[in-house]
Amino acid sequence: MSEAAAAVSWLLHQTEPEARRIAVHQIAKVEGREACELLLRALGDDDWRVRKEAATVAPVLEQREETVATLVAALEDDFNIGLRNAAVEALVAIGPDAVGATIEALDRIDEDARKLAIEVLGGVPDARGTAALASALGDEDENVRAAAAEALGSAAMAGEESRALATHALASALLTSDAFLKIAALDSLARLDAQLPWSVFEPCAKDPLLRRYAIAAAAGSGEPAAVSALARATGDSSPTISREAIVALGDLIARGPDDDSFLDRVRADTQSAGCANARRAVRDAEDPRARGGALLILGLLRQEEDVGALAEALGDDEVAERADLALRLYGAAAAAPVLAAARAARPSVRAAALAFTASLEGANVAEVRAALREGLEDDSLDVVASAIEALGPLGDASDLRRVASLRSHADERVAATATSAVSEIAARHVDAARALLEDSSLGEDPLELGCVLLGAIASTRALDDRDVTLLKRALSHHHSEVRRAAVDALAQAGGDAAADAVVFALADEEHEVQLAAARALGRLRRPEALIGVVADTRDPVFAGTALRALGDADPARALASARPLVTHPDPAMACAAVEAIGQIAVSRGSGHPPANLVMASEDALFAALDHADPEVVKLALSLVGAEPGPRALARMGLCLDHSSWEVRRLAAELLGQDGGAGAEGLLRARYDREKDPTVRAAIGSAVSLRPPSDYPRSSEGSEGPGAERGTKGGH
């Protein structure tokens, strides 16, 4: 025995499990067959922590083929169950290299070992494995058949073809008389999000033993008959079945909130028992999935007695998005009862209710405004801020003065929100803004408010000379807030006079004023001053602001200034440049940038992908991956090999979003080599994304064509 092996062997004999666990890590330093033997000992250890550690070491051993053969043989060990289970974990950790030998073994090992081999194939996304599992659905042993069905639930991670093969095989299994097999098959079909006709599931839905699983799986069907069955199943007397139906129906509603015929069907087929079960589920804080589904169902059913519960859920982050959607499904009639219910609720609910009703299409504006004005007097600053924010787009002329008075509030969030809201209201009610401008009784120093009001007025009509004079005077004010407001207003006013006045503000001693001046010069189309800033400053925030402003004024010159900075050793400067370039490349608004500019921007972002700091790389990758072309895909693929796991994960997510065959190929190739569990999970998730389909998408559709449907059941 070699010295290294002897040392490990000695440690593996120690009584202290921690010592044995540490010994496991030394196995990788042992060469040849001895390493496999020591690994086997560790995998068969009495202590689960030692076995677990050994499973993670298995992929690291150099003698891969021998290791796999040893582990596959261990599946047949009749005496040590711990060893057999640990061998499964180790083979899964090894990955695709273990698949071939495992498949070969299926023909010669007994049923207990075959079941374990099936678990290995289920844990390694591989098309060969999927085919073997499909065959194993016909195994003579019922436990092996059921295990194969369960394992096929993960087939999507091996790609679309595997998913299709698994779906077909599992659907065939539903025609057998093997109840355990059918249960496992249905569960896997749910996890695969299989889009099969309702006729496949209907016979199982009539079987009391299979009904629950059939209901969960049927959500993928999408056919009207399936939807009706789900809706009726929400009223099932079995809590388990009704829960599955509520979750599945909720997911379907969330995906298709604009499909009126679908929603009408759900509404018509959900009976009173379903409504009662949904009400119970809404109160179950321990089951957010059922709660979210129940909220949507109740929103759809539009019964006023449920509005209180829906409003309450607005204040709960776990289900707030579902509650919001549920109330929108309810419609404009929800506004008044939501406001009434929220009055007695906790502050987070009151604030959310105000924000919601203010954005609800068709709500009675007068009623909402009244509630918002009442909210301005609330004890909770969360509610006050929410009310102010909502009054921005909704307030009328009479609200201008009362919101303006809150600009001097001690809470910075309330004050900032009030400033923003004043600007919005003033832009719509210029006469009221003018009247307020003349009123010098507001606040300690009305000049700041004056600048905000003039900026708002300037967004809709030209300022007169008197206004511009006032703004120029404000540029010399001793308070930086006034100077900043003046700069913002002059940017809105436009014109050479305004631009000339703002240039000097680049030299202001206050950072916030400098930044405001940079932004303003972008809108005023004064690139020269900004180019100077970028060239001279060492402040990354200032550089970034100036570059983005330069992008507004002159994209080509902005790119020329930013390009050298993407490789700047200071990651902050590099990030500022990358962001500015990203903005140039995707700039919308008045028109698309010329193709050469887009290509040059892309090249600059590619250069940033080689930066030493992972944060710069991630930012560039994020921008490259937003709308990747063919060149970008190749570069994103290279990022899958980056030393930083965060970069690799981001690359995986972005490639998954692409959904194309090229991206999938890059992902699968990386999956085989990836050792980091977080990145592996991201890759696995990315390759299991469904391709774009005709299925209606939810508001999450902005995620991209490959929006994740997630796995169900045991996920």
By the criterion CB under 8 A, which residues form the site for other proteins? Answer: 18, 21, 49, 52-53, 257-258, 317-318, 320-321, 324, 328-329, 331, 346, 348, 352, 355, 358-363, 385, 389-390, 392-393, 412-413, 416-417, 420, 511-512, 516, 540-541, 544, 572, 575-576, 579, 615, 618-619, 622-623, 625-626, 646, 650, 653, 677-678, 699-700, 702-704, 708
- Indicate the Cα dihedral angle 176, 178, 181, 186, nearest 10°: 60
| Shortest distance, position 644 Cβ to other proteins, whole Å | 10
Q: How far apart are CA 311 and CA 68, in angstroms?
A: 57
For other proteins, the closer of residues 374 and 510 by Cβ is: 510
Amino acid present at 583: Q
3-state secondary structure 558-569: HHHHHHHHHHCC
For other proteins, the closer of residues 52 and 434 by Cβ is: 52
63 Rama sector, left if φ>0, alpha if ψ -120 to 50, beta otherwise: beta
DSSP 550-610: HHHH-HHHHHHHHGGGGG-SSHHHHHHHHHHHHHHHT--TT-PPPHHHHHHHHHHHHHHTT
| Shortest distance, position 417 Cβ to other proteins, whole Å | 5
For other proteins, the closer of residues 103 and 679 by Cβ is: 679
Query: Cα dihedral sign for 644, 620, 527, 420?
Result: negative
Residues 246, 288: contact at Cβ < 8 Å? no
For other proteins, the closer of residues 260 and 694 by Cβ is: 260
| Shortest distance, position 677 Cβ to other proteins, whole Å | 7
Quick one: tokens of 133? Answer: 């599992």
Local structure of 705: helix, strand or coil: coil
| Shortest distance, position 28 Cβ to other proteins, whole Å | 17
Amino acid present at 615: E
Q: At what angle do helices 160-173 and 142-151 cross, to 10 degrees?
A: 140
For other proteins, the closer of residues 368 and 498 by Cβ is: 368
Residues 440, 446: contact at Cβ < 8 Å? yes
Quick one: tokens of 194? Answer: 């299989």
| Shortest distance, position 671 Cβ to other proteins, whole Å | 18
| Shortest distance, position 17 Cβ to other proteins, whole Å | 8
Quick one: tokens of 715? Answer: 């996920």
443 Rama sector, left if φ>0, alpha if ψ -120 to 50, beta otherwise: left
| Shortest distance, position 107 Cβ to other proteins, whole Å | 33
Q: How far apart are CA 44 and CA 83, in angstroms?
A: 4
For other proteins, the closer of residues 231 and 576 by Cβ is: 576
For other proteins, the closer of residues 181 and 619 by Cβ is: 619
Angle (CA) 67 70 76, round 5°: 145
| Shortest distance, position 367 Cβ to other proteins, whole Å | 15
Q: How far apart are CA 552 and CA 381, in angstroms?
A: 36
| Shortest distance, position 702 Cβ to other proteins, whole Å | 7
| Shortest distance, position 337 Cβ to other proteins, whole Å | 17
For other proteins, the closer of residues 172 and 622 by Cβ is: 622
* Distance in Å from the first CA to the final CA of the chain: 45
| Shortest distance, position 511 Cβ to other proteins, whole Å | 7
Nearest to 169 by CA among 177, 180, 150: 150
DSSP 127-154: HHHHHHHHHHTT-SSHHHHHHHHHHGGG
For other proteins, the closer of residues 171 and 572 by Cβ is: 572
For other proteins, the closer of residues 645 and 695 by Cβ is: 645
Q: Collect all residues with Cβ–Cβ distance below 8 Å to 506 and sequence separation of at least 6.
A: 514, 517, 518, 521, 529, 533
For other proteins, the closer of residues 182 and 407 by Cβ is: 407
For other proteins, the closer of residues 386 and 561 by Cβ is: 386
Residues 105, 143: contact at Cβ < 8 Å? no
| Shortest distance, position 100 Cβ to other proteins, whole Å | 28
